Amino acid sequence: MKYRISACIALGVMLAGTAWAHHNMPYLDMTKRVTLTGTLTKLDWRNPHIEFSLEAKGDQGQAESWVIESGTPNGFAGRKIYKADFEKAIGQTFTMEVSPARDGSRIAILRKVTFPDGRMAVIRA
């Protein structure tokens, strides 16, 4: 019995540490904001995080593929934005304000999105 309790405590500590590291997102520079304009090429609408693929133009005009993570589907639903809104706009131009990865890789977290029709949603202030 004593070993089971110790094992449960150890597992709980490990899982809490993993969840904190994941939600703390230490690989992202949350103090920096970058505006990307490009074509939405892919949507992965799932819990716990939605993932977008955006083909944007870099500073020199070169194509850059970005992977942008966001919150949950319920977070968008609370803003009256649904999966179908993104699905019907794949291949169209979006503007996304993001906080990028610290290491310069093209991974980011979504802050604000502007749809092709001009609708805008602030995801993270």
Q: How many CA atoms lie within 13 A of 20 on its CB side?
A: 6
- For position 68, what pLDDT does the model report? 97
- Looking up tokens 């850059």 gives 64
- For position 11, what pLDDT does the model report? 42
Reported as type and span, the H/E element at residue 81 is: none
- For position 22, what pLDDT does the model report? 43
pTM of the entire predicted model:
0.77
Reported as type and span, the H/E element at residue 8 is: helix 2-24
- For position 10, what pLDDT does the model report? 43
Task: Please tell me the total number of residues recorded for the chain in this structure.
Answer: 125
- For position 19, what pLDDT does the model report? 41
- For position 26, what pLDDT does the model report? 75
Phi and psi of 99, rounded to 5°?
Answer: -105, 115
Q: Which residue has the higher pLDDT, 60 or 43?
A: 43
CA–CA dist 40, 90 (Å, integer):
5
Q: Which tens digit of pLDDT belongs to each residue from 3-29?
A: 555 444 544 444 434 343 344 467 899
What does the block give as tokens for 33? Answer: 């904001």
Domain 27-122 CATH class label: mainly beta
Among 78, 116, 73, 77, smallest CA distance to 96 is for: 116
Q: Which residue has the higher pLDDT, 25 or 61?
A: 61
Do residues 47 and 76 lie in contact, with contact meaning Cβ atoms separated by under 8 Å? no
β-pairing, 63-69 with 107-114? parallel
Indicate the domain borders of the chain.
27-122
Q: Which tens digit of pLDDT belongs to each residue from 66-110?
A: 999 998 999 999 999 999 999 999 999 999 999 999 999 999 999
Among 40, 34, 32, 33, smallest CA distance to 56 is for: 40
- For position 17, what pLDDT does the model report? 41
What does the block give as tokens for 61? Answer: 């005009």
